[in-house]
Structure 1
Amino acid sequence: MNVTARVDYALRALLALAVAEPSALTAQALADRHDLPLTFLQSILGELRRARLVHNQRLPMPGYRLTRAAESISVGEIIRALDGDPTTGRDHDLPDDAGEVVRSLHQLWKAADTALLGVIDTVTLADLRDGRLPA
């Protein structure tokens, strides 16, 4: 799986928000704390806000907060919010005349996609925050 900088930065920011709960953190604080480019991070936070994963509160304590508990936000949901389906681009339909080798490879890629989705859709921000990761 290829993880884009956008997803990596989003996960860093969201994980920092999960650790800071219930406090809010500004984009500047997130950028400084994790050595992220502020303008790029602000763009990512805007996408996460539109995906209803974060809320930008103004007063009395300005900053970003998670919209839901960290236990209810999966890594897969975050990836899809920024980059779409991570398995898109692989054709799971085989032509009728596909040979045995092609069918074997098709099964391999399908199994790999299933395993990938099984991990990213079950690991939550709380799991990352608390160090509960699959082997």
Structure 2
Amino acid sequence: MLSKKAKYALKALLYLTKNADKGLILISDISERERIPRKFLEAILVDLKTQGLLQSTRGKNGGYALVKDPSQISVGNVIRMIDGPLAPIPCVSHLYYRKCDECVDEITCEIRIVMKKVRDSTANILDTTYLTDLEKMNTLVA
């Protein structure tokens, strides 16, 4: 399940994508418009800055802006930055692989086989969906 932190991170990044032409965006603007608690948002934005997705400037004219082109930021990478692996169980994770303690034979484990399919499908969708794609989806629904 997607955590609230990851959902808010995506909402904040999407807001920054939609308002990229306005320069630096205040935390208070993002918080108010996206209905994200300010203190929680501050922590999220610091994480995203540490991960190299955002830049920030303090002071009267300060705020946050994207460092990378939003067409290069995949939903999957953002979720991994915030929540960790996409895989539902550790033995099918590419980046965070760990053998299950109770596992006798990974090759024939039926649970592993189906969870690998889940991971592959999920990763395929999220890793090929970028912030600019999310922005376009809203116009398709309206």
Aligned letter for 1:117? Answer: A
Taking the aligned partners of 2:39 and 2:105, their CA distance within structure 1 comes to 50
Counterpart amino acid of 1:47? D
Task: Give the superposition deviation at 1:80.
Answer: 1.3
Q: Assess if the C-alpha contact under 8 Å between 1:57 and 1:65 holds in 2.
A: no
8 A contact 2:87–2:115 mirrored in 1: no
Aligned counterparts of 2:30 and 2:8: Cα–Cα separation in 1: 10
Which one has a larger percent helix, Structure 1 or Structure 2? 2
Q: Hey, what's the Cα distance between the residues in 1 that align with 2:60 and 2:36?
A: 25
Residues 22-72 of structure 1, C-alpha deviations (whole Å, 9 max, x = no match): 322111110011111000000000000000111113478421111111100
The normalised TM-score by structure 1 is 0.84
Runs of 4+ in 1 over 6 A off after TM superposition: none
- Look up the equivalent residue of 2:52 and give its one-letter code: R
**Structure 2 gaps, min length 5:** 93-98
Indicate yes or no: 2:60 matched with 1:54. Answer: no
SS at match of 1:95: coil
Say which of 109, 113, 116 aligns to 1:107. 113
Indicate which of 81, 95, 111 corresponds to 2:104.
Answer: 95
**What do you get for the CA RMSD once the two structures are aligned?**
2.3
Q: 1:130 aligns with which of 129, 136, 142?
A: 136
* Identical amino acids, percent of aligned pairs: 27
Question: 1: CA distance between counterparts of 2:116 and 2:43?
Answer: 33
Q: TM-score, normalised by structure 2?
A: 0.80
User: Where does structure 1 lack aligned partners over 5 or more consecutive residues?
Assistant: none
- Whether the aligned pair in 1 keeps the contact of 2:88 and 2:119 (CA below 8 Å) is no
